[in-house]
Amino acid sequence: NADGESLLHAYTNLLKRKEGKKVLIVLSDGSPASSAGYDDDAFLFKIAKAIQDEGRVRLYGIGIMDRNVERYYRNRCTIKSANELEDKLMGVVRDQLLEV
């Protein structure tokens, strides 16, 4: 997965929207790994840091049975089972929209 490229694409599209509150939630089950031929890990770290530093969009990572989200996202959590995803995702949406 080209996580950095996907994150940048989603972020760019989200910025075009007129809503004042913007939240981008990333679901991840591991580390980025594409066949693009560059350092996917470093690129994702760079893009996530830039988005978070800029502050125009609230970025949140949910790790699915994997804690790698801790490496990239300041706001994050990890679930131990895919069965937890629905409840966690709805909680994050609620909490992040109230916090922005």
Residues (pLDDT < 50) of the chain are: none
Predicted local distance difference test score (pLDDT) of residue 84? 96
Please, are residues 2 and 42 in contact by the beta-carbon 8 Å criterion?
A: no
Predicted local distance difference test score (pLDDT) of residue 33? 72
Condensed to tens digits (0 to 9), the pLDDT of residues 77-97 reads 999 999 999 999 999 998 877
Predicted local distance difference test score (pLDDT) of residue 60? 96
Q: For the chain, what percentages of helix, strand and coil (3-state, to nearest 5) are there?
A: 50, 15, 35
